[in-house]
Amino acid sequence: MPKPLPVRAAALAATAVLLSAAAAGCGGDDTKDRKDPKADDLTAQRLTWKDCPAPAQSEGGGPAPSPLPDGELWECATLKAPLDWGDPDGDTIGIALIRARTSGTDGERIGSLIFNFGGPGGSGVTTLPAFAGEYEKLRTRYDLVSFDPRGVGRSAGVKCEDDEQLDEYFQQDATPDDTAEQRKLVDNTRAFNAACEDNSARVLPRVRTTDAARDLDLMRQVLGDDELHYFGISYGTELGGVYAHLFPKNVGRAVFDAVVDPTQDPEQGALGQARGFQLALDNYAKDCTSQVEDCPVGDTAQDVKDRIAKLLADLEKKPLPGVFPRDLTQTAATGGIAQSLYSKDFWEYLTEGLQQAYDGDGKILMTLSDSMNGRDQDGRYSNIQAANVAINCADDKPRYTPDDVVSRLPRFRAASPLFGDYLAWSMVSCTDWAVAGAADHPDVGAPGAAPILVVGNTGDPATPYEGTRKMVDALGPGVGVELTYKGQGHGAYDSGDPCVRESVDGYLLDRKVPSSGTVCP
């Protein structure tokens, strides 16, 4: 069972579905600024930009992107990149790109600002237009660009199980209580992983974050920029850190928001997420019970959490009707609750979903869970979870057995009574994966790189705040510039906080580097 995705796009998807219905290690490559023989040919390619089609189902589906506020249309193109960066004269793959041209004049234009919104597994081609309003000020001096990283969406997207199989996979008991349930979970994981190998063997060894970082540098050159201007969110901060390590001289103006801790192995990362989601749940419960009107899901913060725990225990014995014909299981409810904690804007949906579940109806919580898993209302899945598993397993060297998980359960339960088991058992996702993992954690050391603005949110559930300082330290002296946002939810810039916006915009637009240690608000 994949762990909750540290991707801001997932929260957006939840909103869209609800309104219509009712993270990592990588590395293992210390070669910096390498010049590959075929690189000159690839950097000379000319992109053919066309009006954007509707997103493919692997990207999440939906309509073609709406025009920009000034009436300009989004443009899409495909970048040709080596399938194997170790063999640049071999086969190539297409990397799907999307662009909004700058609204400023040629004299004001800085270059392209490339976004990665996280996951790993999130489609930038789908996500950038959805958040375009948040970045309109940045478009005054940049072409806004995003992409489907290799293995994602239309960029040689990883395929695993079909929609019917995925419905069953995401309904399974992800928190086994005995040996038989453990065996079933592992068997299901092996079946999922075998399907990935059967359907995507060609690309599975080539979706490491180091590969995506090399794609970024190729993208920079083909777009005509001397430096990479970059905005990475969640897993995008890890990708940005790996890029800075491999190409420190090519770093331009870069922002890392919702920072992945680059020093953690998968176990430490899952444990950190357990603490982060528990903190977010604590904050939700306190907020709900501090309102002027009574909190409809509990009298005190502890009562709110106790009632949620009882709901989950009851669901293990007897699921509730969910999104027909499926039931709301304990696993689906846990995922739905986690999804609602990605943004404070979704706390109202959590309250409504809990009220509904206490009345015997699981639709809202299940809709939230579906959003996390990339399932639309018609029962079709994007490849976000397949790509997430493939990239994590290619990056992460450790492999965990059920015995490993059982021995660590006390620590996870201490970190989070609600999410501990769920995240501990997520560590078996790479059991029997076809490709060996690259490293325990990514190498992001980037001595000599330009300043990188590293933004952390103290209430972030998916990428806990402590990772911000770890990233700053790992980048090296004089590179990481720390900015703290005291808020809730996953990420800081999209919160709309004026202090964060002013600091980030001033840096990206005017190269005004804030003092490291600045705190907002």
- Whether 23 and 261 have beta carbons less than 8 Å apart is answered as no
Residue with tokens 């075998």: 194
pLDDT at 3 over 90: no
Distance CA 266, CA 476 (A): 23
Q: What is the pLDDT of residues 485-502, one digit of tens each?
A: 999 999 999 999 999 999
pLDDT at 16 over 60: no
Q: What is the pLDDT of residue 493?
A: 97
Q: What is the pLDDT of residue 294?
A: 87
Distance CA 209, CA 223 (A): 21
Instruction: Give the confidence band of 4 by pLDDT, cuts at 50, 70, 90.
Output: low
Distance CA 349, CA 336 (A): 10
For residues 377-395, give the mean pLDDT. Answer: 97
Q: What is the pLDDT of residues 292-349, one digit of tens each?
A: 778 999 999 999 999 999 999 999 999 999 999 999 999 999 999 999 999 999 999 9
Q: What is the pLDDT of residue 14?
A: 37
Choose, from 143, 148, 396, 460, the residue flagged as catalytic: 460
For residues 30-49, give the mean pLDDT. Answer: 70
Q: For the chain, what is the mean pLDDT?
A: 93
For CA atoms 30, 35, 41, 42, the dihedral sign is: positive
Instruction: Give the confidence band of 457 by pLDDT, cuts at 50, 70, 90.
Output: very high
58 classed as catalytic: no
Choose, from 229, 245, 441, 490, the residue flagged as catalytic: 490
For residues 387-405, give the mean pLDDT. Answer: 97
Instruction: Give the confidence band of 291 by pLDDT, cuts at 50, 70, 90.
Output: confident
Instruction: Provide DSSP, 225-293.
Output: -SSEEEEEETHHHHHHHHHHHH-GGGEEEEEEES---TT--HHHHHHHHHHHHHHHHHHHHHHHHTSSS
For residues 152-166, give the mean pLDDT. Answer: 98
Distance CA 297, CA 307 (A): 8
Q: What is the pLDDT of residues 82-120, one digit of tens each?
A: 999 999 999 999 999 999 999 998 899 999 999 999 999
Distance CA 421, CA 136 (A): 41
245 classed as catalytic: no
Q: What is the pLDDT of residue 32?
A: 47
Show the tokens assigned to 41.
């040919």
Element (H, E) at 452: strand 452-459
407 classed as catalytic: no
Q: What is the pLDDT of residue 368?
A: 97
- Nearest residue to 164 (alpha-carbon basis) of 379, 353, 351, 402: 379
Q: What is the pLDDT of residue 293?
A: 79
For residues 144-168, give the mean pLDDT. Answer: 98
Q: What is the pLDDT of residue 62?
A: 94
Show the tokens assigned to 260.
């992945």
Please, is 448 exposed, middle or buried when counting C-beta atoms within 10 Å of its C-beta (0-12, 13-18, 19+)?
Answer: exposed
Q: What is the pLDDT of residues 410-442, one digit of tens each?
A: 999 999 999 999 999 999 999 899 999 999 999
Distance CA 339, CA 504 (A): 26
Distance CA 383, CA 389 (A): 10
Q: What is the largest CA-CA distance in the chain?
A: 67
- Alpha-carbon separation of residue 377 from 44, 312, 326, 384, 517 (angstroms): 42, 24, 12, 16, 44
- Whether 346 and 340 have beta carbons less than 8 Å apart is answered as yes
- Whether 452 and 255 have beta carbons less than 8 Å apart is answered as yes
29 vs 190, which has greater pLDDT? 190
First to last CA, the chain: 37
Instruction: Give the confidence band of 39 by pLDDT, cuts at 50, 70, 90.
Output: low
Q: What is the pLDDT of residue 29?
A: 44
Q: What is the pLDDT of residue 5?
A: 59
- Alpha-carbon separation of residue 470 from 231, 259, 319, 392, 442 (angstroms): 19, 9, 41, 20, 12
Distance CA 492, CA 460 (A): 9
Distance CA 496, CA 499 (A): 9
Q: Would you call 97 helix, strand, or coil by DSSP?
A: strand
Q: What is the pLDDT of residue 310?
A: 98
Q: What is the pLDDT of residue 33?
A: 46
Q: What is the pLDDT of residues 46-77, one digit of tens each?
A: 999 999 999 999 999 999 999 999 999 999 99
Q: What is the pLDDT of residues 460-471, one digit of tens each?
A: 999 999 999 999
Percent pLDDT > 90 in the chain is: 90
Calculate the CA 282 to chain-centre distance. 23
Instruction: Give the confidence band of 21 by pLDDT, cuts at 50, 70, 90.
Output: very low
Q: What is the pLDDT of residue 175?
A: 97
**pTM (2 decimals)?**
0.94
- Nearest residue to 185 (alpha-carbon basis) of 2, 388, 436: 2
Q: What angle do CA 454, 258, 52 make, to 5 degrees?
A: 105
Calculate the CA 372 to chain-centre distance. 10
Distance CA 201, CA 214 (A): 21
- Whether 131 and 164 have beta carbons less than 8 Å apart is answered as no
Instruction: Provide DSSP, 366-424.
Output: HHHHHHHHTB-TTS-B-SHHHHHHHHHHHHB-----HHHHHHHHHHHHHH-TTTHHHHH
